[in-house]
Amino acid sequence: MEYIGIDVGGTNLVAGLVDERGAILQKVSRPVDRSMSDRALCRELSLLAEEVRLAGGLSRQDVQAVGVGLPGLVNNKQGVVVTTANMPFRDTPLRELFQQEWDVPIYLGNDANCAALGEYWAGAARGCNPTVMVTLGTGIGGGMVVNGKLFTGCANSGMEVGHMVIHPGGHLCGCGYRGCWEQYGSATALIRMTRQAMEKAPDSRLWALCDGDPEKVQGRTPFQAAKEGDATASQVLEEYRQEVAIGLINLINVLQPKVICLGGGISHAEDELLLEPLRELVERGSFDKRMPTRLVRASLGNDAGVVGAALLCKAV
Q: Which residues bind Zn ion (CB under 5 A)?
A: 163, 173, 175, 180
| Closer to Zn ion by Cβ: residue 166 or 300 | 166
CB of 156 to Zn ion, least distance (A): 17
| Closer to Zn ion by Cβ: residue 72 or 301 | 72
CB of 189 to Zn ion, least distance (A): 12
| Closer to Zn ion by Cβ: residue 172 or 231 | 172
Half-sphere exposure of 35 (CA within 13 A, CB side): 0
What is the total residue count of the chain? 316
For 219-258, strand residue ranges (E) read none
- What are the distances in angstroms from CA 59 to CA 52, 104, 314? 11, 12, 21
Asked if residues 224 and 217 have their Cβ atoms less than 8 Å apart, the reply is: no
| Closer to Zn ion by Cβ: residue 79 or 141 | 141
CB of 99 to Zn ion, least distance (A): 35
| Closer to Zn ion by Cβ: residue 180 or 209 | 180
| Closer to Zn ion by Cβ: residue 161 or 307 | 161
CB of 181 to Zn ion, least distance (A): 8
- Helices (H) then strands (E): counts for the chain: 11, 13
CB of 177 to Zn ion, least distance (A): 5
**Rounded to a whole number, what is the distance in angstroms from the first to the last CA of the chain?**
18
| Closer to Zn ion by Cβ: residue 128 or 180 | 180
CB of 175 to Zn ion, least distance (A): 3
How far apart (Å, rounded) are the C-alpha atoms in residues 72 and 9? Answer: 10
Asked if residues 62 and 52 have their Cβ atoms less than 8 Å apart, the reply is: no
Which residues have CB under 8 Å from 1's CB, separation 6+?
19, 20, 64
CB of 130 to Zn ion, least distance (A): 23
- Say how many C-beta atoms besides its own lie within 10 A of residue 178's C-beta: 14
Pairing of strands 80-84, 12-19: unpaired
How far apart (Å, rounded) are the C-alpha atoms in residues 44 and 59? Answer: 19
| Closer to Zn ion by Cβ: residue 1 or 175 | 175
CB of 271 to Zn ion, least distance (A): 29
Asked if residues 264 and 230 have their Cβ atoms less than 8 Å apart, the reply is: no
Q: Residue 125: what are its φ and ψ, rounded to 5°?
A: -110, 20
